[in-house]
Amino acid sequence: MAKTKTKPASTPASPKAKAKPAALATPTDLGSNSTRTVAEALNGILADSFALYLKTKNFHWHVSGPHFRDYHLLLDDQATQILGTTDAIAERVRKTGNTTLRSIGDIARHQTIKDNDKDFVPAAAMLVELREDNLKLIESLRDAKDIVDAAKDNATSGILDDWTDQAEERAWFLFEASRKG
Ligand SMILES: [Fe+2]
């Protein structure tokens, strides 16, 4: 038997601040206003991490030239490291009582790191662009650190330090690899 869809009687005026489904209301002792701000910061970092992961893989796949082997391997290591942070970022959001990203479309709506869909990018330009993206991610991580500290979210604060250290290491390696001479 066909079911008829019933529309909700009214929709909220502001769709931007989407309410969390009651079934996903993970208990937390952190204040709800502050955890939402933490969640917004973390969801932005998560989207940027996925964007940076895919760009790093893209460059790993499409790099060419005399340093092919070095760059190809370096970018694979970095992509693996970035991907390795994503699950923990998303689960920090859930542990602090909020909801996280759900799709590629959701990533696209939240990411601030820009995609690079060019047909060809010279190897040296790849390293420069990835270093700048990692530095941008570091900036977001530092901003998030202020937010989580204000919310007294110690666990997120501690893990943000690790993610910052990893991003700083990637930026360092990319800088050294791109030096001439
Ligand atoms: Fe590969």
Find the 61 Cα to ligand 1 centroid distance in Å. Answer: 7
Find the 80 Cα to ligand 1 centroid distance in Å. Answer: 10
Would you give per-residue pLDDT tens digits along the chain (181 residues)?
Answer: 444 444 444 444 444 445 667 777 776 766 666 667 999 999 999 999 999 999 999 999 999 999 999 999 999 999 999 999 999 999 999 999 999 999 999 999 999 999 999 999 999 999 999 999 999 999 999 999 999 999 999 999 999 999 999 999 999 999 999 998 6
Find the 160 Cα to ligand 1 centroid distance in Å. Answer: 28
What single-letter DSSP state applies at residue 29? S
Other C-beta atoms within 10 Å of 52: how many?
23
Find the 60 Cα to ligand 1 centroid distance in Å. Answer: 7
pTM: 0.84
Find the 122 Cα to ligand 1 centroid distance in Å. Answer: 18
Rg of the chain over all Cα atoms, to the nearest angstrom: 19
Side-chain-facing half-sphere of 21: CA atoms under 13 Å: 5
Find the 26 Cα to ligand 1 centroid distance in Å. Answer: 37
Residue 23: its pLDDT value, please? 76
Residue 18: its pLDDT value, please? 59
Specify the CATH superfamily of domain 30-178.
Ferritin, core subunit, four-helix bundle (1.20.1260.10)
Find the 70 Cα to ligand 1 centroid distance in Å. Answer: 13
H helix and E strand count, the chain: 5, 0
Find the 23 Cα to ligand 1 centroid distance in Å. Answer: 39
Dist. CA 40–CA 32, nearest whole Å: 12
Amino acid (1-letter code) at residue 36: R
Find the 177 Cα to ligand 1 centroid distance in Å. Answer: 19
User: Residue holding tokens 């869809």?
Assistant: 5
